[in-house]
Amino acid sequence: LSITQAHLLALAFAGSYVGSIYVSQHARLTYASNNSTERAHERVRQRDDSGVIRARLKAVAFSTTLSCLAVVEVAHVHSAGSFAYSMSLLGVNATWSTLLPSLIAPVLFAGPLYVAFLDGRLPIPSPVSRLVLLRNYVAAPITEEVAFRACILAVYHMAGASTKKKIFLTPLWFGLAHVHHGWEVYNRLGCTRVAAMNAALSAVFQTAYTTLFGFHCAFLFLRTGSIVPPIASHVFCNIMGLPGFASDL
């Protein structure tokens, strides 16, 4: 497998994941302008609507499954690998040795956790629907880590990419996959010039911090050979959110 082929497969994995949520009409968001009628506002679909969440969960689950099957097929064709070899490439390995690496993210958040303790509050998600909780803390971390970490790292490994490339290059796919959220911000803020500026800043910021987080998860995956620590870190960071550096001073 060549590096170029690995790039193309990674593009396919990332593109299919993001693209899947736009294929179904039920998964796409709809917006209403300030001048829209009341009926138009009633037809607005937001990302936290139950119908949208269900449609998107089905879409990304299907896309992630296809990506995993593609890795299995590529491993069989290009590396003559067995099914067990394919599973090892995907990090399907949960042993006690993966427990301590899963605690790295909580350790990095020791400061915010201590501040929360002093304030007498816990980093518990605010009351939201069960579907939102399922998406944020179960489905999204699992499917994103499997698709963007396990599948993409697997093809770069078969292409003979260096460890440095696997840690610092592959997370760019994860970061770029979040650029489309800028379109949501632009529409939600009214499609104005100010909205465009806010959307651009939001997209750049989200791409940057998701890429940085990807460095961490790629390192965990490569050191442990398991997808469990990256998923655990993803879940924990989704619960905690971004650290509020200024508010904790």
Residue of 26, 42, 145, 178 marked catalytic: 178
Check if the beta carbon of residue 52 is closer than 8 Å to that of residue 46.
yes
Query: Shortest CA distance to 60 belongs to which of 1, 121, 16?
Result: 16
d(Cα 214, Cα 140) in Å, to the nearest integer?
14
Residue of 26, 42, 76, 144 marked catalytic: 144
Type of residue found at 207: T
Query: Residue 197 CA to chain centroid, in angstroms?
Result: 24
Type of residue found at 129: S
Burial tier of 127 (Cβ tally within 10 Å: 0-12, 13-18, 19+): exposed
Who's near 136: CB < 8 A, 6+ residues apart? 125, 238
d(Cα 165, Cα 237) in Å, to the nearest integer?
24
Q: Is 144 among the residues known to form the active site?
A: yes
First to last CA, the chain: 50
Check if the beta carbon of residue 86 is closer than 8 Å to that of residue 71.
yes
Active-site annotation, residues: 144, 178
